[in-house]
Amino acid sequence: MPVDDHTLDQVAMSRAEYERLLDMLDREPTEVELGIVGALWSEHCGYKHSRPLFHHFPTEGPFVLTKVGEENAGAIDLGDGWCAVFKMESHNHPSAIEPYEGAATGVGGILRDIFAMGMRPVALLDSLRFGPLTDPTNRHLFNGVVAGIGGYGNCIGVPTVGGEVQFDESYSGNPLVNAMCVGVGRTEHLLSASASGPGNPLVLVGADTGRDGIHGATFASVELDENSDERRPAVQVGNPFLEKLLLEACVELAEEHGDWIEGLQDLGAAGLTSSSVEAAERAGTGVEIDVALVPRREEGMTPYEVMLSESQERMLVIPKREHLDEVLALFRRWEIHADVIGTVTDDDMVTIRDGDEVVARIPVNVPTDPPMYPPEGVRPSELDRWQAEDLDAVPDVADPTGALLELLADTNIASRRSIYRQYDHQVLNNTVVKPGGDAAVLRVKGSTKGVSVATDCNGRFVALEPRVGAAIAVAEAARNVVATGARPAAVTDCLNFGNPEKPDVAYQLEQAILGISDACSALGTPVVSGNASLYNETPSGQVLPTPGIGMLGVIDDVHRTLTATPTEGDTLLLLGAPLAQPAAALAGSQYLTATLGRLAGRPALDLDHEAAVQRFVLDVHAAGLLSAAHDCADGGLAVAAAEMCLAAGAGLDAGDVELGTRLDAALFGETQSRFLVAVSDAAAVADLEGRAAAAGVPSTRLGTVGGERMRLGPVDLDLEQARAAYDGGLERALAG
């Protein structure tokens, strides 16, 4: 019988999509079939509005080992037989309802994506967004999310080494919680996520199945509203101690017995449904599952509930049938449940049984072929108004020292120490550069190599000019890893946007993807994995468009890593742009947004220049000229200089530099493609300046690191006063 609108709402399916399903099946679906298709056709699993745009991304390169979308994460070749796998995903809606468990299970899910490929997770990062901390609800969400990330990561023993957090009114009630994980291993141990080999068994390993998380994928595919609390049962509950056992068992399987299995897949969104159907689709096979064989922790669960449960800490293993007993024994040795629940078939069908009763039987290509909605975007009218603002008419800063102190204490700039001190960032003993700098650096044990990892995105820039703002997110993430001496290698993304059915959001989404593609092409950093999280809206409106970027860079000799900490006596230089800047450099800056109380201006980026500056920094570091480097970003030159001084515990003597006619633009403008670098002696300074002139990269001496005051043009700031503002800014805001 035809389904009613309430049932379709539960599976986030429109009436038109249901009619499409009827045409594909030529009959009414069963309850389980509707649940399967609804989950895999949801935005969260099917990428209905974003996938039509993914063809813009550059996805190939000489070091890329995987094809985007065909595995759980992207893999790149580090050389000497080593590879790194990494991915970023969102857990936004669950975290808005239950912040601790929403964030914790987001960490658990991204970890499983990595060890599903046979790699050992070595680092976690997070990219977080919240409403202003003046609101008690936002403070509750912030504290819960940070605790959830730390609670899960600390328990499982994978270090949380980096990330970023920003605050804006648009995120109130709809926080963004993006988690990134990096794994490392031998290339020959990479595993696939395909259900190959008809006749091979399907083995479910890990936790028993419960009712937590049912409709989680569809919950993430609709806007949050005043009734969202009613969806609390859709939020999963994690068990990091069980996941630790699962991790070790899967890594052992990959490293020592990879020839025993055809595939390994995690159970994430849509649980057993997505893992089995997507694995079959990748292999061009079918699957048959008997839900009566699935171990459960709750009584009376229906086949529908078993197939759609998103209970955590579960994996689907496809052993070669001749090695089934060995695989079962391995997991049971780790005290993990391992049960045969089905078989790979050669009929290209998804068959679900409950004992002798067939409750679903549909072709694999039905749930894996969601309808696509190419965006029909319309440029938001406010862009013209924001970009036309005459920034020359904004009064110049009257008190530069006071303005810098306010920026250092601002929650969008202040030290994140109160966050990352809750995380164990040293476990596994791979962390070479700890949180708090431009990027984290980890050694690859067994080699001289290291990887540098960072996340980045400034939603203000994307809101003002989506294509340029998204390109800036890639460029800044690349600058972060370059500042550690690493060569940017590849990108993962997490596309956080509002309702894509709205023309202005569709415009933002398409332009942002084009911007990411522009920057990745220019910088030689292919997109190897990612995630789209749409419908990030509340009744108050959409979040700032936030295409989060996770960047991975490679260091050939980890002993030559750079940090942002200069040594007393070093000379500080600005690379990439002159000191004097026009008022247009204030566009979207933290200073201007705080001054005006709104967005204004038009961000700009020259990608050719960006690539040249990054190459130059790496070249002069390779030549041994740099003792420290730091990206100029939020807060501009003055904040970057203050951060380096605070890291060094020493001031700066640069009071006589010429900053031009606009002090605010020179000090606090967020002009792109700039680094502050420290050089230890006069000969090295002269050498660097000569190389810069030859490369066409602007360079300016600022002054000498030392003393107890930071002097930069008219700024004259006591270092301890700066430290009090910077170190305590976030904690003061959290205190209410």
pLDDT at 226: 59
**Amino acid found at 685:** V
Does 235 lie in the same domain as 196? yes
pLDDT given at position 307: 96
Of the residues 49, 56, 91, 189, only one is catalytic, namely 91
Q: Could you say which of 44, 189, 621, 630 is catalytic?
A: 44
Query: Is 478 within the bounds of a domain?
Result: no
- In this prediction, residue 232 has a pLDDT band, given cuts at 50, 70 and 90, of very low
- Specify the range with the lowest mean pLDDT, choosing from 3-12, 45-54, 393-402, 443-452: 3-12
574 and 694 share a domain?
yes
Instruction: Annotate 618-668 with three-state secondary structure.
Output: HHHHHCCCCCEEEECCCCHHHHHHHHHHHHHCCCEEECCCCCCCCHHHHHH
- Which residues form the domain of 269? 1-41+192-369
Do 365 and 410 have their domain in common?
no
492 strand-pairing partners: 529, 550
pLDDT digits (tens, 9 = 90+) for 130-181: 999 999 999 999 999 999 999 999 999 999 999 999 999 999 999 999 999 9
Known catalytic residue at 559? no
CATH number for the domain spanning 683: value is 3.90.650.10
Mean pLDDT, residues 462-483 taken together: 98
332 with 413, same domain?
A: no
Distant-in-sequence, close-in-space partners of 27: CB < 8 Å, separation ≥ 6: none
Residue 1 has pLDDT above 80, yes or no: no
- Whole-number CA gyration radius for the chain: 26
Asked, for residue 226, whether it belongs to a domain, the answer is yes
Q: Which of 309, 334, 369 is the last residue of a domain?
A: 369
Q: Do 646 and 607 lie in a common domain?
A: yes
- From 322, 354, 369, the end of a domain falls on 369
**Any domain includes 109:** no
User: CA 351, CA 343: separation in Å to the nearest integer?
Assistant: 10
C-alpha distances out from residue 395 to 401, 407, 478, 599, 665, Å: 16, 17, 33, 16, 11
Note whether 403 and 342 are same-domain residues. Answer: no
Nearest Cα to Cα of residue 588 among 715, 699, 510, 476: 476
- 400-409 and 719-734 helices cross at what angle (nearest 10)? 40
Is 359 within the bounds of a domain?
yes
Give the confidence band of 230 by pLDDT, cuts at 50, 70, 90. low
Q: State whether 345 and 295 are in the same domain.
A: yes
DSSP bridge pairs for 178: 90, 127
As a whole number of angstroms, the distance between CA 699 and CA 694 comes to 11
Answer yes or no: is pLDDT of 9 > 90. no
Give the total number of structural domains in the chain.
2
Domain assignment of residue 82, yes or no: no
Measured in degrees and rounded to the nearest 5, phi and psi for residue 55 equal: -65, -15
- At 288-332, the pLDDT tens digits run 999 999 999 999 999 999 999 999 999 999 999 999 999 999 999
- Residue 466 pLDDT level (bands cut at 50, 70, 90): very high
Residue 69 counted as domain residue: no
- Residue 5 predicted with pLDDT over 90: no
Residue 44 falls in the annotated catalytic set:
yes
Q: Are residues 407 and 352 in the same domain?
A: no
Residue 688 has pLDDT above 60, yes or no: yes
265 lies in the same domain as 355? yes
Whether 576 and 667 map to the same domain: the answer is yes
Helices (H), 417-527: 417-420, 459-464, 466-482, 503-523
In a domain, 7, yes or no: yes
pLDDT confidence bin for 70, thresholds 50/70/90: confident
On whether the CB atoms of residues 542 and 505 are closer than 8 A, the answer is yes
The whole-model pTM stands at 0.95
The pLDDT of residue 231 is 47
Task: Give the pLDDT band of residue 224 (cuts 50, 70, 90).
Answer: low
Residue 268 banded pLDDT, cuts 50, 70, 90: confident
Instruction: Tell whether 416 is covered by a domain.
Output: yes
Q: What percent of the chain has pLDDT over 90?
A: 89
Nearest-angstrom CA–CA distance, 237 and 246: 16
> Alpha helices, DSSP H only, in 293-343?
303-308, 324-333
Note whether 313 and 404 are same-domain residues: no
Instruction: Answer yes or no: do 637 and 682 share one domain.
Output: yes
DSSP letter string, 580-630: ---GGGGTT-HHHHHHHSS--S-----HHHHHHHHHHHHHHHHTT--SEEE
* pLDDT of 229: 52
Cβ burial 143-181 (10 Å sphere, 16+ → b, else e): ebbbebbbbbbbbbebbbbbbbbbbbebbbbbbbbbbbb
**What's the pLDDT tens digit per position in 235-254?**
677 899 999 999 999 999 99
Residue 177: helix, strand or coil by DSSP? strand
